[in-house]
């Protein structure tokens, strides 16, 4: 599939040192799939191993891509583990309280005591840019390969562009202005700088428009690899940030019109199952029989909670007739005390056959994003229709005859109750709608208005002064 776009961009920021080691290990692991002659012909120093050396056929390219997905699932921003955004940004916002050791990183997120030297923040930055660097190496290897078919090459490239955009977007929701890395070339990445958010949005959209062109329309088997609809969801999330309402409606119309592909699940108990019909993209567990990292992070059976639990402030938002509290939260009683945990995923043990995958994108979010965009555009009837679909499944009565501001408040409230502890979506909503200070100030003694952004890791600013000044407040 030799050819392709000239991706040019800033350098990796001093955090990608380990990626060549990962690619070297990948070569070793899949050596039986490649002839000895291939290795003799390459003869590259280990420190300069190129992506093209890995991706001479479909099997090795697929293996490299699966390794990237595994890292996304197991570590960094999108993991369902305790270090992921679902947990940490749930603590940072108003979804979760922390009951564990007050010196733990989770406590610092909950209490807004994060410093530029914080190891978890540094890990978010480093892990994400390592994966971006791996993705760029993957893209370059695919583009320069002569052993991958055109169709496979297009799919690989589309997935790589999607992953690259997703990681940059997630980083921007935490840190604000960030470097946008388009290459694995050390020389081109000599002095990285941070990109203004308006420029970043443009760069993200360029990647995503190309990804949408290259990817398949239909979902993959078990929906574990992104298709065009996953791209549309990410585009809509970015358009929420920029207020490009017409584009959200256009992208979500294209997705929601596919009623034979994505079937609205009326039973709340089935929404987070492995074969849920409203799933757009999900992570498969490491081994068959494993289930989600989220279940292991959130479920506890005796009190007090060992770490995170749903905050009473959040739980009070459920009305008595809201079925989501019964289906998606679990309660532990001990004496006169009671605590609740997220229970969207039910299985924190092996089950022989995996029953749940970690869902990153699902149909309900598409309806809620379109509802918000329609309300902003003045189509209150259309917005109410989408909103009431969410409410009906939760056992709530339909709303009608709301003015625009009241309707937007109702949509944001349903986003809060529907999407809780899902990859920091609640934090994103508070931040992008300008409601973070008014919401968190009264309930978080450590809150400062500058907490709207996390600090740039101190070590990164020392390594590369071209990153500019620290975020305000740190």
Distance CA 446, CA 449 (A): 10
Query: What's the whole-number average pLDDT of the chain?
Result: 91
Query: DSSP label at 274?
Result: T
- How sure is the predictor about 44, in pLDDT bands with cuts at 50, 70 and 90? very low
The pLDDT value given to residue 188: 66
Distance CA 297, CA 307 (A): 9
- Encode 245-266: b = buried (16+ Cβ within 10 Å), e = exposed: bebbbbbbeebbeeeeebeebe
Q: Do 124 and 76 form a contact (C-beta atoms < 8 A)?
A: yes
Distance CA 80, CA 442 (A): 29
- How sure is the predictor about 29, in pLDDT bands with cuts at 50, 70 and 90? very low
**CA distance readout (Å), 286 to 200, 254, 357:** 33, 32, 10
Domain limits, the chain = 19-215, 268-433
Tokens of 275: 């074969």
Q: Which position has the token pair 């370059």?
A: 140
- How sure is the predictor about 426, in pLDDT bands with cuts at 50, 70 and 90? very high
The pLDDT value given to residue 185: 80
Q: Is 421 helix (H, G, I), strand (E, B) or coil?
A: coil
pLDDT tens digits, residue range 171-211?
A: 999 999 999 999 998 766 657 899 999 999 999 999 999 99
Nearest to 122 by CA among 448, 463, 472, 466: 463
Tokens of 235: 């585009």
The pLDDT value given to residue 320: 98
Distance CA 164, CA 132 (A): 6
For residue 334, is pLDDT > 80? yes
The pLDDT value given to residue 56: 81
Q: Residue 385: what are its φ and ψ, rounded to 5°?
A: -60, -45
For residue 272, is pLDDT > 90? yes
Q: Rg of the chain's alpha carbons, rounded to an integer?
A: 22
Distance CA 160, CA 225 (A): 11
Residue 220 CB: number of other CB atoms within 10 A? 15
Distance CA 133, CA 170 (A): 15
Which of the listed CATH numbers 1.25.40.390, 1.10.3720.10, 3.40.50.300, 1.20.970.10 matches domain 19-215? 1.25.40.390
Across 178-187, 301-310, 439-448, least confident range = 178-187
Residue 209 CB: number of other CB atoms within 10 A? 14
Tokens of 167: 């990681």
For residue 49, is pLDDT > 50? no
**Residue with more model confidence, 206 or 25:** 206
For residue 42, is pLDDT > 50? no
Distance CA 220, CA 226 (A): 7
The average pLDDT across 357-362 equals: 99
Distance CA 455, CA 338 (A): 35
pLDDT tens digits, residue range 74-119?
A: 999 999 999 999 999 999 999 999 999 999 999 999 999 999 999 9
Across 6-15, 124-133, 159-168, 365-374, least confident range = 6-15
The pLDDT value given to residue 12: 37
Tokens of 348: 């924190």
Q: What percent of the chain has pLDDT over 90?
A: 85
Q: Do 470 and 176 form a contact (C-beta atoms < 8 A)?
A: no
Q: Which position has the token pair 């409601």?
A: 435
For residue 380, is pLDDT > 90? yes
**CA distance readout (Å), 4 to 58, 135, 140, 397, 437:** 18, 15, 9, 53, 45
The average pLDDT across 327-342 equals: 98
The pLDDT value given to residue 191: 78
Q: Do 347 and 356 form a contact (C-beta atoms < 8 A)?
A: yes
pLDDT tens digits, residue range 210-235?
A: 999 999 999 999 999 999 999 999 99
Q: Which residues pair with 329 in a beta bridge?
A: 342
- Decide if 19-215 and 268-433 have a common fold: yes
| CATH code 1.10.15.40 for 268-433 | no
As a three-state string, the secondary structure of 91-108 is HHCCCEEECCCCCCHHHH
- How sure is the predictor about 317, in pLDDT bands with cuts at 50, 70 and 90? very high
**CA distance readout (Å), 105 to 100, 109, 129, 297, 422:** 10, 7, 21, 15, 19
The pLDDT value given to residue 186: 73
pLDDT tens digits, residue range 336-349?
A: 999 999 999 999 99
The average pLDDT across 366-390 equals: 99
Q: Is 269 helix (H, G, I), strand (E, B) or coil?
A: helix
- How sure is the predictor about 67, in pLDDT bands with cuts at 50, 70 and 90? very high
Distance CA 359, CA 377 (A): 30
């Amino acid at each position: 599939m030799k050819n392709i776009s000239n991706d040019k961009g800033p350098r990796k920021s001093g955090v990608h040192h380990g990626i060549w080691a990962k690619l070297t290990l990948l070569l070793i692991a899949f050596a039986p799939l490649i002839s000895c002659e291939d290795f003799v012909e390459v003869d590259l120093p280990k420190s300069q191993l190129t992506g093209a050396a890995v991706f001479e056929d479909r099997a090795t390219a697929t293996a490299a891509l699966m390794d990237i997905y595994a890292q996304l699932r197991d570590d960094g921003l999108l993991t369902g583990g305790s270090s992921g955004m679902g947990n940490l940004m749930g603590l940072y916002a108003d979804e979760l309280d922390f009951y564990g050791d007050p010196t733990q990183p989770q406590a610092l997120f909950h209490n807004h005591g994060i410093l530029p030297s914080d190891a978890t923040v540094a890990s978010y930055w480093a892990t994400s840019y390592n994966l971006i660097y791996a993705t760029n190496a993957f893209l370059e290897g695919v583009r320069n390969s002569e052993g991958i078919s055109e169709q496979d090459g297009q799919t690989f490239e589309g997935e790589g562009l999607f992953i690259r955009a997703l990681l940059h977007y997630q980083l921007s929701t935490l840190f604000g202005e960030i470097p946008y890395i388009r290459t694995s070339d050390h020389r081109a990445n000599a002095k990285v700088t941070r990109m203004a958010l308006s420029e970043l949005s443009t760069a993200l959209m360029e990647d995503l428009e190309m990804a949408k062109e290259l990817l398949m329309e239909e979902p993959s088997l078990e929906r574990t690899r992104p298709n065009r609809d996953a791209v549309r969801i990410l585009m809509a999330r970015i358009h929420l940030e920029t207020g490009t309402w017409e584009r959200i409606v256009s992208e979500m119309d294209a997705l929601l019109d596919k009623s034979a592909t994505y079937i609205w699940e009326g039973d709340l108990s089935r929404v987070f199952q492995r074969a849920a019909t409203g799933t757009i993209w999900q992570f498969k567990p490491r081994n068959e029989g494993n289930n989600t990292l989220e279940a292991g992070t959130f479920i506890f059976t005796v009190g007090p909670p060992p770490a995170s639990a749903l905050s009473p402030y959040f739980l009070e938002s459920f009305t008595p007739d809201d079925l989501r509290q019964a289906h998606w939260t679990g309660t532990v009683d001990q004496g006169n005390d009671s605590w609740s945990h997220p229970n969207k995923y039910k299985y924190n043990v092996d089950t022989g056959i995996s029953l749940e995958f970690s869902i990153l994108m699902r149909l309900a979010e598409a309806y809620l994003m379109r509802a918000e965009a329609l309300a902003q555009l003045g189509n209150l009837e259309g917005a109410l229709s989408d909103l009431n679909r969410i409410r009906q499944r939760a056992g709530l009565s339909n709303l009608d005859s709301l003015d625009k501001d009241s309707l937007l408040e109702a949509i944001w409230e349903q986003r809060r109750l529907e999407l809780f502890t899902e990859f920091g979506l609640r934090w994103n909503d508070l931040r992008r709608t300008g409601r973070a200070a008014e919401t968190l100030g009264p309930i978080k003694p450590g809150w400062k208005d500058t907490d709207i952004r996390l600090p740039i890791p101190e070590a990164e600013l020392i390594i590369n002064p071209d990153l500019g000044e620290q975020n305000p407040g740190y």
